[in-house]
Amino acid sequence: MYETINISIPKKAERIFGLFLSFYPKVYRQKFGNEMRLVFYEMYQEEILTNGKIRFGFWIWQFSDLSNNALKEHVDLIEKKGIKKYMQQTFNINKYNIFGVILLLPAFIVFCIDLGSRIIQGDLVHYNRPVYKLLSHTPLYWTPVLFVWVIIFPLLAVGINLIPIITKAVKDRDHLKSKTFIKQNFTTLLILTFGLFFVLLVKYHDFAPCMVHGILKVGFGQLDHIVEVCRKA
């Protein structure tokens, strides 16, 4: 029988394995995580005894094996629980997050088109006139409707996604200060961040690319001058 012995491995190796293990669903980690960790320690020790060091191939193998099987476990979980429960339990996604994503989608599309067309023309400071002229005939860029996509909808997304946070905070005041706050509300915080980002971008949509362009051209050395120029952009 192959007996186990007391094994200690470098903290860095433990952290890397911990990261790979985090690919698995929580339910699976709770059941098999400890055992998998112990097996990994023994594999690590064996690699050192056999090859004198940890080869890069060892880590490639671990990543490939764990990520491949983690994906299978997620698929298995979706088949067993259905997509709704899976999203709730794995990513802490709630109905407010889904509404938030739908509300942010038009602003995200406008942002990507604007940024992409500025990059293609090689000038971040000014919007791409031909692209703008073409899209101005579409509902996405009609002036009153554009106001809805890039300001109203993101504000609504922010407002809706504050509901679960405020609700939890009212029930448990310590929730906001808890160590797991960010982890438990990661998707919600992400939507809040993007919502506020798009609203701010409306105000600074010429200032921001002008700053980026200026910094890329002359560096951070003349930041004051760049800010002064871009304020008038």
User: Which stretches of the chain bind another protein, using CB under 8 A?
Assistant: 1-2, 4, 28, 31-32, 34-36, 38-40, 42-43, 61-62, 64-70, 72-73, 76, 78-79
> One-letter amino acid identity for 32?
F
As measured in angstroms, the least distance from the Cβ of 29 to another protein is 11
For another protein, the closer CB: 69 or 193: 69
For another protein, the closer CB: 35 or 174: 35
Q: Which two tokens stand for residue 216?
A: 């890329």
How many of the other CB atoms lie within 10 Å of CB of 197?
14
For another protein, the closer CB: 59 or 99: 59
As measured in angstroms, the least distance from the Cβ of 38 to another protein is 6
For another protein, the closer CB: 83 or 119: 83
Sorted by sequence, the CB contacts under 8 Å of residue 128 that are 6+ apart come out as 114, 117, 118, 120, 121
As measured in angstroms, the least distance from the Cβ of 56 to another protein is 16
3-state secondary structure of 8: coil
Alpha-carbon gap, residue 122 to 125, rounded angstroms: 9
As measured in angstroms, the least distance from the Cβ of 34 to another protein is 7
For another protein, the closer CB: 26 or 203: 26
As measured in angstroms, the least distance from the Cβ of 70 to another protein is 7
Alpha-carbon gap, residue 42 to 8, rounded angstroms: 9
Can you tell me which residue has the tokens 């394995």? 17
